Amino acid sequence: MAVYNPKSLKAEEFINDGEILETLRYADAHKDDTELIDRIIEKAKLRKGIDHREASVLLACEDEEKLKEIYALAEQIKKDFYGDRIVMFAPLYLSNYCVNGCVYCPYHAKNKHICRKKLTQDEVRDEVIALQDMGHKRLAIEAGEDPVHNPIEYILECIDTIYSIKHKNGAIRRVNVNIAATTVENYKKLHDAGIGTYILFQETYNKKSYEELHPTGPKHNYDYHTEAMDRAMEGGIDDVGLGVLFGLELYRYELAGILMHAEHLEAVHGVGPHTISVPRIKAADDIDPDTFDNGIDDETFCKIIAIIRIAVPYTGMIISTRESKSVREKALRLGISQISGGSKTSVGGYVEPEPEEENSAQFDVSDQRTLDEVVCWLMELGYIPSFCTACYREGRTGDRFMALCKSGQIQNCCHPNALMTLEEYLVDYAGPKTRAIGEKVIEKELLNIPKEKVRAIAAQHIDDIKNNNKRDFRF
Ligand code: SF4
Ligand code: SF4
């Protein structure tokens, strides 16, 4: 039987089933142990995180008073590390050809009636122009696994195309990539193409369930999939993004698993995950979420987000338009630092909305608002929408990025960058209401840049964006 070892490179040792089951037993046994829960909360207050066992105890805890403390701490940590900034991004679906048999995804190979599409480079260009015209600067590209239709060369060509398009004042400045687990050699190629984060959802950390949920195709191989982030890092990619699809397995198992994965990356590579995503299973063509037994309600979902926030304070957290406006609002407070806006989850959906009969979407979007509506809504809630991509472009990835987080200089860096990129958005893309609110937000928030010199430079840059048509400033 495999023995738990976070430093091992073998999937079954660093995501160890025995350790997870023991963790869940431990959490059950201690869920009413207020002394232990207090100690864990005190440790979390040091803002250096808590481990998978400690987090699992908090997740099992049902004491209303303690839960209030946990939520308050998550909110505080969110504020301390991310201020009021929310980074914006959009997904771009390149191709929905896929050879895998994932039972929860409409792109699975046996779905013969879904409309299969793959963007040509001209179509990529059109999609990117549409995204730039909305105001996006940061994309996450998505493609099914299909060595014939979507080989790595196709993905690389698309990345090149995306970065090359400069339409009006627009530019995509960071391309994150969400494609199937691959070889070190291919990860090197993605690294050389200048990707931002490599994102790969584990879907579920439970090996037995994983194999049942992925009955056919290369993704069936749990070990190869689970060890992908190690290969990505070996290939030179510093920033990796984890995620599970909540609803497939017991959420308590998944929380322990994802935190063990984060601990493993830290133990082996000296840097934890750049982001964690928290998708929940949603309806889609030929997928009914009710057929999966492990769905979680909104309250549990928010509890998970709060606990991840305090367990890994330096890791960004992402929520997509799978979630409704009201759930997103709650989740933002508790820990989410990045959200998508104005998303289309079909191939080619930004240029032309799809007719019903041509559905190529991966999931139904709950939050259907435009990017401008989302930006405006965020500011009305007191947030600062940020289109910043500075770290990646300044080479602050991996441990250099973590060093920035730990240096306490975030407020002198992320904050002015958020304001400058928001000003670009307001000048180039915002509707009149959003612009009016945004200009006030910027004026007020400039005063919250601690260093006088940085404040003066940021004010000058903002003036140049507004009055001299200059763009792309960053700290
Ligand atoms: S989840 Fe990914 S790998 Fe699985 S069927 Fe969908 S696109 Fe293919
Ligand atoms: S400066 Fe870096 S960490 Fe801060 S918002 Fe920009 S990209 Fe993110």
Concatenate the DSSP letters of all residues of 74-104 into one string: HHHHHHHHHTTEEEEEEEEEEE-------TT
103 Cα–ligand 1 center, Å: 9
Confidence tier at 287 by pLDDT (50, 70, 90)? confident
417 Cα–ligand 2 center, Å: 7
State the distance between the two ends of the chain, measured CA to CA, in whole angstroms: 50
Per-residue pLDDT tens for 69-96?
Answer: 999 999 999 999 999 999 999 999 999 9
Taking the CA of residue 362 as reference, the ligand 1 atom at the shortest distance is 6
Strands (E), 225-311: 240-243, 275-277
Selection from 25, 23, 140 nearest residue 92 by Cα: 140
- When mean pLDDT is compared over 9-23, 285-299, 364-378, the highest value belongs to 9-23
**Which of these ranges, 208-212, 351-355, 459-463, has the smallest mean pLDDT?**
351-355
Confidence tier at 449 by pLDDT (50, 70, 90)? very high
Selection from 396, 401, 392, 446 nearest residue 419 by Cα: 446
Provide the 3-class DSSP secondary structure of residue 226.
helix
Residue 360's pLDDT is what? Answer: 81
Whether the full predicted model's pTM is greater than 0.85, yes or no, is: yes
> What distances in angstroms separate CA 120 from CA 8, 161, 233, one per listed residue?
41, 10, 30
Is residue 354 over pLDDT 80? no
Does residue 413 have its Cβ closer than 6 Å to ligand 2?
yes
Provide the 3-class DSSP secondary structure of residue 339.
strand
Length in residues, the chain: 475
Instruction: Give the Cα separation of 248 and 19 in Å (integer).
Output: 20
Residue 361's pLDDT is what? Answer: 84
Does residue 91 have its Cβ closer than 6 Å to ligand 1?
no
Is residue 356 over pLDDT 80? no
> What distances in angstroms separate CA 94 from CA 122, 385, 414, one per listed residue?
12, 26, 30
Closest residue by Cα to atom 1, ligand 2, is: 414
* Mean pLDDT (whole number) for 433-449: 97
> What is the distance, to the nearest Å, from the Cα of residue 430 to the centroid of all Cα atoms in its chain?
24
Closest residue by Cα to atom 4, ligand 2, is: 414
Instruction: Give the Cα separation of 305 and 279 in Å (integer).
Output: 11
* SS3 of 158-224: HHHHHHHCCCCCCCCCEEEEECCCCCHHHHHHHHHCCCCCEECCCECCCHHHHHHHCCCCHHHCHHH
Give per-residue burial for 19-47: e unless 16+ CB within 10 Å, then b.
bbeebbebbeebbeeeebbeebbeebeee
Confidence tier at 288 by pLDDT (50, 70, 90)? confident
Confidence tier at 208 by pLDDT (50, 70, 90)? very high
Residue 282's pLDDT is what? Answer: 81
Is residue 19 over pLDDT 80? yes
Encoding tokens for residue 152?
């790595």
Residue 401's pLDDT is what? Answer: 84
Does residue 417 have its Cβ closer than 6 Å to ligand 2?
yes
Q: Among 81, 86, 87, 400, which residue has the most ligand 2 atoms within 8 Å of its CB, making it the best to mutate?
A: 87
Ligand nearest to the CA of 411: 2
427 Cα–ligand 1 center, Å: 38
Provide the 8-state DSSP code for 354: P
> What distances in angstroms separate CA 426 from CA 60, 148, 220, 365, 387, one per listed residue?
44, 42, 46, 25, 11
Provide the 8-state DSSP code for 340: E
Selection from 304, 317, 329 nearest residue 67 by Cα: 304
Taking the CA of residue 203 as reference, the ligand 1 atom at the shortest distance is 1
Q: What contacts 314, CB < 8 A, 6 or more positions away?
A: 49, 81, 272, 402, 405, 406
Is residue 355 over pLDDT 80? no
Note whether 206 and 247 are within 8 A (CB): no
Selection from 273, 270, 246 nearest residue 260 by Cα: 273
Confidence tier at 410 by pLDDT (50, 70, 90)? confident
408: left (phi over 0), alpha (psi -120 to 50) or beta: left
Ligand nearest to the CA of 103: 1
Is residue 359 over pLDDT 90? no
Confidence tier at 183 by pLDDT (50, 70, 90)? very high
Encoding tokens for residue 196?
């931002």
Sign of the C-alpha dihedral computed for residues 62, 65, 71 and 74 taken in this order = negative
Per-residue pLDDT tens for 103-146?
Answer: 999 999 999 999 999 999 999 999 999 999 999 999 999 999 99
Closest residue by Cα to atom 2, ligand 2, is: 391
343 Cα–ligand 2 center, Å: 22
180 Cα–ligand 1 center, Å: 8
Encoding tokens for residue 162?
């995306």
Residue 406's pLDDT is what? Answer: 77
Provide the 8-state DSSP code for 359: -
Confidence tier at 380 by pLDDT (50, 70, 90)? very high
Query: 404 or 313: which carries more pLDDT confidence?
Result: 313
Encoding tokens for residue 393?
């472009």
> Helix crossing, 325-334 with 64-82: angle to 10°?
80
Does residue 102 have its Cβ closer than 6 Å to ligand 1?
yes
- Across the chain, mean pLDDT equals 95
Encoding tokens for residue 119?
């963007």
388 Cα–ligand 2 center, Å: 6
177 has which bridge partners? 141, 198
Strands (E), 16-78: none
Does residue 386 have its Cβ closer than 6 Å to ligand 2?
yes
Instruction: Give the Cα separation of 337 and 434 in Å (integer).
Output: 21
Note whether 58 and 309 are within 8 A (CB): no
Instruction: Give the Cα separation of 456 and 451 in Å (integer).
Output: 9
Closest residue by Cα to atom 5, ligand 2, is: 414
Per-residue pLDDT tens for 232-286?
Answer: 999 999 999 999 999 999 999 999 999 999 999 999 999 999 999 999 998 888 8
CA atoms within 13 A on the CB side of 80: 17
Is residue 400 over pLDDT 90? no
Neighbours of 15 (CB within 10 A): 27
Is residue 291 over pLDDT 90? no
Neighbours of 112 (CB within 10 A): 7
Does residue 388 have its Cβ closer than 6 Å to ligand 2?
yes
